Amino acid sequence: MKLDGHAKLTNAAILSFSVNCAKATEILQKDTMCRLPQFSTLNIDWKDWMNSNEKDNSNLAYYLAVQEASIIGESMHPLQRGYLTRETVAVDIEPLKLPLHVLASGQKYHFMRDKSDKTVKNAYNKASAFVHANAQRWVEKMHYVLYQHRPQGRSGHSTIAQRRDAASCLALALHSLQDSFSPAHTRRASYKTPNQPGAIEDMYIYSEQDHNKHSAHDYESGSRQSLHAQSAVLASADLMKLCVASVSRKSKTLSGWNSYREKWIKLSPKAA
């Protein structure tokens, strides 16, 4: 999936999540949980808000490079608009994260299989555990921010760092989840309804692919007329909902993960 594809899917998921958020949370927590600045869209001058394309992709790459260059300056400020979306995209570009495309340990960041993974199941277990672990981290960090943090002294009142960390973790989960819907990353059983995606039958090895083909599939899966993209939006919104619902019940554990996984990233029994 391309940079702008991840951005457009995440933006769409945030909007869909926001509409349904109140239903997912306990009454008292509605305002706190549904209006977190994290759940705001990244608005740049998109040529096409719905579909992934080369112009938006390169504009976004430039925008992110400028943002990343000024990241030290922003660390003490409240989260910027669109931070979650930006972080979801940044998994593909941040200099520190870039080697992940080629390193074995990095394939789970993109829901792909490493050469050393003997079976698809092996790769799948790593990738799905990665999505789960990072969603779980969001729940722990936001639980701390909302219920455990006690302001102390003049400098102790800020939870900006924890909120930023939480959003960055959720972004890792969302990025990998979205990649799991890209035909360049996985093969799913064919399906017709975005809300009922096909099970994952295969996961591909990046270094063994034709990279031009990978790229073309990546534009397609970031475009909203594609069934895969529609599923990725719904799955992303549903993961946000799962996270928020857990914290709103004052839980430190992400609940409902198993049924979530069965619905959105189920491994097909056919997978070798």
Measured in whole angstroms, the distance separating CA 63 from the mean position of its chain's CA atoms is 19
Q: Which is nearer to Zn ion, 100 or 199 (CB)?
A: 100
110 vs 164, beta carbon nearer Zn ion: 110
Contact between 143 and Zn ion per CB under 5 A:
no
Candidate ranges 17-25, 63-71, 108-116, 139-147; the one touching Zn ion (CB under 5 A): 108-116
Q: How far is the CB of 3 from Zn ion (least distance, A)?
A: 9
Residue 78-107 contact track with Zn ion, rule CB under 5 A, x = bound: --------------x---------------
Question: How many other CB atoms sit within 10 Å of the CB of residue 92?
Answer: 22
Task: Please report, to the nearest 10 degrees, the dihedral formed by the alpha carbons of residues 199, 187, 49, 23 taken in order.
Answer: 10
Stretch that binds Zn ion, among 14-22, 173-181, 238-246, 251-259 (CB under 5 A): 173-181
Give the interface segment with Zn ion, choosing from 109-117, 160-168, 227-235, 252-260 (CB under 5 A).
109-117
| DSSP 8-state code for residue 148 | I
CB-based contact 9:222 (threshold 8 Å): yes
CB distance 141 to 169 below 8 Å: yes
CB 243 within 8 A of CB 135: yes
Amino acid at 36: L
Closest to Zn ion by CB, 8 or 110: 110
Helix H or strand E segment including 203: strand 200-203
First to last CA, the chain: 24
Q: How far is the CB of 122 from Zn ion (least distance, A)?
A: 19
Count the neighbouring beta carbons within 10 Å of the beta carbon of residue 46: 18
Kindly tell me which residue out of 4, 165, 179, 220 binds Zn ion, with binding defined by CB under 5 A.
Answer: 179
Interface with Zn ion: number of residues (CB under 5 A): 3
113 interacts with Zn ion by CB under 5 A: no
Instruction: Enumerate residues 6+ apart whose C-beta is below 8 A from 188.
Output: 181, 197, 198, 199, 200, 201, 228, 268
Nearer to Zn ion, 109 or 260 (CB): 109
Decide: is 110 part of the binding site for Zn ion (CB under 5 A): yes
Name the closest residue to Zn ion (Cβ): 110
CB of 227 to Zn ion, least distance (A): 19
Smaller CB distance to Zn ion: residue 54 or 262? Answer: 54
Instruction: Write out the residues near Zn ion by the rule CB under 5 A.
Output: 92, 110, 179
